[in-house]
Structure 1
């Protein structure tokens, strides 16, 4: 198992087309369980000294299915709520 403290390192920003980027190492990617479809939320501190990236967990397909079933089961209630 990878110790997260072992992943801490200094990184350099580089030019990537018209943008700038930071490189994520293979070990970082493996630890995060990330691939090219993984989405992150970027948070910049008010003083501009920190940037934090938080992995956005994928929505489980069964959650959407369950929500749809509940909506359909209680469609009369949902319709009344829409009219409020």
Structure 2
């Protein structure tokens, strides 16, 4: 098992086309259980000194279907709540 403390180290930003990127090592990917289809949320601190990436967990499709049906069923209530 990978100790997450061993993954903490300095990394350099590099040019990638018209953008810049940070490299994620194989150990990092293995620890995160991530591949090229994994989505991350990026959060930049208000002072501009930190960027945090959080893995977005997949939502079960049936949960989204239930939520969509509830939103449709109560659309008038949702619109009233938006105006509060």
Q: Describe the SS at the equivalent of 1:64.
A: helix
Over 3 Å counting, the alpha-carbon distance change for 1:64 and 1:17 in structure 2 is same
> Match for residue 51 of structure 2?
51
- Give the structure-2-normalised TM-score: 0.76
**Structure 1 runs, 4 residues or longer, greater than 6 Å off:** none
- What does the per-residue CA deviation read over 1:9-61, in whole Å, with 9 as the maximum and x for residues that have no partner? 11000000000000000010011111111111111111111110111111112
Aligned positions, number: 79
Query: Gapped runs of 5+ residues in structure 1?
Result: none
Query: Gapped runs of 5+ residues in structure 2?
Result: none
